[in-house]
Amino acid sequence: MTTTLITGKGGTPHITSGDMGAMQAGIIGNGSYLLQGSDGTFPTVTMQDANHALIPVLNLVVEGRYARVTEAETATIESGITGRNRNDLVCLKYTRNGQNIETAAIAVLKGTPNTGTAADPTVPSGSIHSASGTVWIPIARIPISGITPGTPVMLIKQLPPMSKLWDSVTLTRSNQNWNVNYRTALVGKLLIVAFHAIRVGSDWNAAKEWETSPLFTLPAGLEAAFEVHCAAVSNSSIGLHGVEVQVAQHTIALRSSGKMTVSANGGWVEGCITVPLV
């Protein structure tokens, strides 16, 4: 019999780590992910001193298995060599023995020193999904220049909580000459804004390309990580694509593609922009 009611009462213990791992991987994803901490932030690996990386409390989901670092611990980093560069990887090392007993621990993969640009060490192949005996999951890179370790770089993907997925954001209208209908979706560190703006009160007369007319101000606490421009459509005097939409820092604005007019008597612009957030 191959069909099993995993979470039904079976009379005997029958739920395995493989059962729960398959379910969690199906919901969360087949890869490896870092969950946010109880303070709402994603913890990072730091250097305690030249030879010890400090691994904070971590919540990890690796190929469906949930693993925790319940108390901060250190991982030993071998000293570097003057004039040579090296990358080490702080990893979660998963093991499965012959009795299918599974364990996890923090371990370090040491890179090869060289006089040029350091490369990450090769991560041994293996997959929990494929019942490998050993699987290495990189968490952070420790760049070492000579005898000096640099700031650790987090490698494992951050997975925002469901409360932050497909949330909405209220924007502030920053220009009363635009009557704007809009919808937003906040997906992790991306804010998606779709809008339809009707010009009211007075014409927008752009004397040249690259003039701006603000639409929205982002709410406090949100800021664009970098400037983004997207095409919009309009009934401007120079045609359908006479206007673009841009975001820079806290402002979403329209930008002219050339000398043109959007009339207050029925003029409109519509489009969509994805805002990468800090």
Under 8 Å between Cβ of 259 and 205:
no
Instruction: Name the DSSP letter for residue 6.
Output: T
Cα–Cα separations (whole angstroms), residue 153 to 45, 178, 208: 8, 44, 44
pLDDT at position 162 is 77
Sign of CA dihedral 54, 60, 62, 68: positive
Instruction: Give the separation between CA 194 and CA 106, rounded to whole angstroms.
Output: 44
The reply to whether the predicted model has a pTM over 0.85 is no
Token code pair at residue 71: 């108390």
pLDDT at position 146 is 95
> DSSP secondary structure string, 151-213?
--EE-SEEE--GGGEEE--PPEE--TTEEEEEEEEEETTEEEEEEEEEE-SS-EEESSTT-EE
What's the number of CA atoms in the CB half-sphere (13 Å) around residue 223? 6
Instruction: From first to last of the 278 residues of the chain, give the pLDDT tens digit.
Output: 688 888 888 888 888 899 999 999 998 899 999 999 999 899 999 999 999 999 999 999 999 999 999 999 999 999 999 999 999 999 999 999 999 999 999 999 999 999 999 999 999 999 999 999 999 999 999 999 999 999 999 999 998 887 766 678 999 999 999 999 999 998 878 999 999 999 999 999 999 999 999 999 999 989 999 999 999 999 999 999 999 999 999 999 999 999 999 999 899 999 999 999 99
